[in-house]
Chains A and B, each alone.
Chain A
Amino acid sequence: MAEANVLLTPTQELAPGQVSAIRNATIEAVVNKASRELGLPKDRLVVRDIRAYDDLGFGRNTDYSATAIVSNIWGSFQHTTTTYSVSGSAGDYRDAIPDSTTMADNRYVGLYGVRDYRVSRAATKAQEVSLIKFNIGAADRTIWDLSECEAYKSYIAGVTPSPVVIPPLAPYQISPYLIGGSAELAVQLMGFVVEPAGMTITPFSDKVGAVAQTHLIPTMELAPGSVSAIRNSVIAEVLKQVSEQLRLPEDKLVVRDIRPYADLYWCSNTADSIFSTAISNERWDAELDATNAYADASTDFFDVILSTYTSMANERWVVIYGVKDARACLSTIVEPRITLIKFTVGGNDRAIWDIQCKDAYPNAMAAVSPSAIVIPQNTDYQIAIQPAFSGNASADNVQEYITLEGVVIEPMGKLLSP
């Protein structure tokens, strides 16, 4: 029997591609376990991002967080004019999960690392968490030391080849060790959920026999060339589909950038109250309404697209395979404002991305997914967000800078004639 190597290693001390290798091996192991234990073929399972609150209840215990967090945020966020911080007592493990919590039935959570996203905050704060202890099924499974990763200023993350797996109905607790008592939270666990398709999302089933991998991966955690490989494979697959459906050879099709308004009507919806002003021109950034954004009280999604526009144009396919944050290129970086993005196409929720994963990488705030969201011609779609900001009537509105990574595929001459 081999020894259990439960070391957390800074990702910057790993060879290129090793983070991907660990992630892929972990996913394969958990998918195999879920398939075997649930008696389901792999193509009936999905891999998706963890929702910090809905799946784990992370930060809901006031032993760890000064205020019980009831939204899908891993750490601090602006609440009116202040920011939520860690609980006051330092020098001990503090439980982040409500006592006596068990994992949902039919749901597996795999955890293989941790990210520290203080480096992409408006101002870098002290990290008040050193160790993180995982107790699964009433036994301590591992203890990770985040502080070992903090010698690397450009980005701070660590992974382990021995993942922590929380199986269905198992009791679990995650306990960060607090070394200070008043700073803001900035710890995100790297991992994923495996569960039956339809339990939370119903992704496109484009590969028979394979699990749908809908999770989002920061580009900095991919092997060299992987972003190109994902982009090229996604475009090739959808081109084939478009060519067949429009009965046009591929050389009569154009692949081009998405126009945020003219193609998607991005941030056009003020009816759902999240945006202070409806965007009606070609820009990705928008202003969140301080009166209506309430991250601390709800896990509601807010629709981004005005209902009038939620049908894709004729002879136009939009393919979305990633997300970016343009706040990286502001003269002064502002706080992240959005936690999750949900894509609904043809009446089904296809993916929920936790876009906080990119926030550990201030020089590359970008992430891609191996499973693209495809919005075919004449098909209903909606994109919805959850805010990482809670305002009130006296707080200022705040700007968010999320952009979607993808392409449009349409017949040559519809818009462009290259």
Chain B
Amino acid sequence: MAKLTQLIPAPELSSGQIGAIRNQVAKALLGQASYELRLPVDNLIVRNIRPQSDLDWCSNTDYSTAVTTDIWPCTVKSAATYKDIITSASTTMADQRYVAIYGLRDSRFAIATPIAQTTSLFKFNVGHSDKSIWDLTKCYSYRSKVVGISTSAIVIPQNTYFQISGYLFDSSAVASYISLVGLVCEPRGQTISP
């Protein structure tokens, strides 16, 4: 079976498929974490990604003005190339933490005046090899639901190098409302104790 890494706009997926993908990703991530941490699944939790605390999203001033809080929005810079989103000091995943990313969202239509985006491709490098390149532009024909999902999640295991790069294609700095669709798996009590 070939590796299907492409991004699929959410409106082009069959009914229930996003739920199926999410559940499949969570199950696979739990299985990997359980095996590698030697912990039963019920000692693990699955939670949302915190943009700064888990990924240090938009911390690299190559891509945007540095964000130092747990929010996804940022102001991207002008360029015509890939720019790294994560600052080099944060490109190793924390110990006992696994992150899976399986899509992109663009929330700019939830604000008063939507702003045109200037990031087209997103490249994911894990363990020093490029795992996926997603083109968010393909989701921009669906004004009411700007979300893309991939059937192949990007998994960043504990203590592993990762980098996320955005391809900036315009010569203007604009506010970006793009966020990653994904989840974190870690031992119960490491961040929360549900």
**Contact surface of A with B, Cβ cutoff 8 Å:** 219, 224-225, 227-228, 231, 235, 239, 250-251, 253-260, 280-284, 324-326, 328-331, 358, 362-366, 401, 403, 405, 407, 409, 412, 415-418
Contact = CB atoms under 8 A, between A and B. Distances in A.
A257 B140 contact: no
Q: Which of A224, A254, A256, A324 has the most CB of B within 10 A?
A: A256
A227 B6 CA distance: 15
A281 B133 contact: no
A281 B138 contact: no
A330 B167 CA distance: 19
Given A256-B133, A259-B121, A281-B169, A324 B138 contact: yes
A418 B141 contact: no
Given A228-B14, A416-B133, A251 B144 contact: no
A207 B152 CA distance: 30
Interface residues of B, number: 45
A328 B141 contact: yes
Interface in B39-74: none
Interface string B125-139: 000011111110110
Nearest to A258: B135
Interface stretch (B25-33, B84-92, B108-116, B183-191): B108-116
B141 A326 contact: yes
Contact of B143 (A219, A258, A362): A362
Closest 4 CB pairs of A and B: A326-B140, A324-B141, A283-B169, A329-B140
Nearest to B131: A418
A225 B135 contact: no
Contact of B81 (A281, A329, A358, A401): A281
B130 A416 contact: yes
B137 A326 contact: yes
B101 interface: no
A254 B120 contact: no
A228 B13 contact: yes
A284 B4 contact: no
B161 to A, nearest CB: 14
B133 A254 contact: no
A251 B1 CA distance: 4
Contacts of B12: 219, 227-228, 231, 366
